[in-house]
Amino acid sequence: MNRTFQVEATSSVTSKGQTTIPKEMRDAMGIKDGTALRWRLENGVLTVRAKSKRLEDFAGALGVPPNGRSITIEEMNDDIGAAVAERFARSTQK
């Protein structure tokens, strides 16, 4: 079941272009100190989205790896680098 809710609040902009996000909005969106905000202006409508999830928040979301072995970021980077190098080598052999 999808739950929808609406929160409405008002804030003003300072001479430095700053504003305070009302507490009701911060609480509803899980916005804390350091939360990144994404601003978008489209057809006169300003949308602000809180980036409240970090990559680490998704750790384990897919369950245990099929082979039962987890790998480090460094191992992933090494494997990605090797795959890019291999692809580049194949593309330049023509």
CB 38 within 8 A of CB 48: yes
Q: What is the pLDDT of residue 3?
A: 63
Q: Is residue 93 part of a domain?
A: no
The C-alpha atoms of residue 69 and residue 76 are separated, in whole angstroms, by 13
pLDDT, greater one: 2 or 24: 24
Residue 42 in any domain: the answer is yes
The pLDDT value recorded for residue 42 is 94
Band (pLDDT 50/70/90 cuts) for residue 12 is very high
Q: Is residue 3 part of a domain?
A: no
Whether residue 31 is contained in a domain is answered as yes
Q: What is the pTM of this model?
A: 0.48
Q: Residue 49: inside a domain, yes or no? A: yes
pLDDT digits (tens, 9 = 90+) for 33-90: 888 899 999 999 999 988 866 666 677 777 777 787 888 889 999 999 999 999 999 9
Which CB contacts under 8 angstroms, 24+ apart, belong to 17-23?
Answer: none
Query: Containing domain of residue 40, as a range?
Result: 23-53
The answer as to whether 29 is a domain residue is: yes
Nearest Cα residue to 53 out of 39, 67, 71, 32: 32
* Through-space distance between the first and last CA atoms of the chain, rounded to whole angstroms: 55
Q: How many domains does the chain have?
A: 1
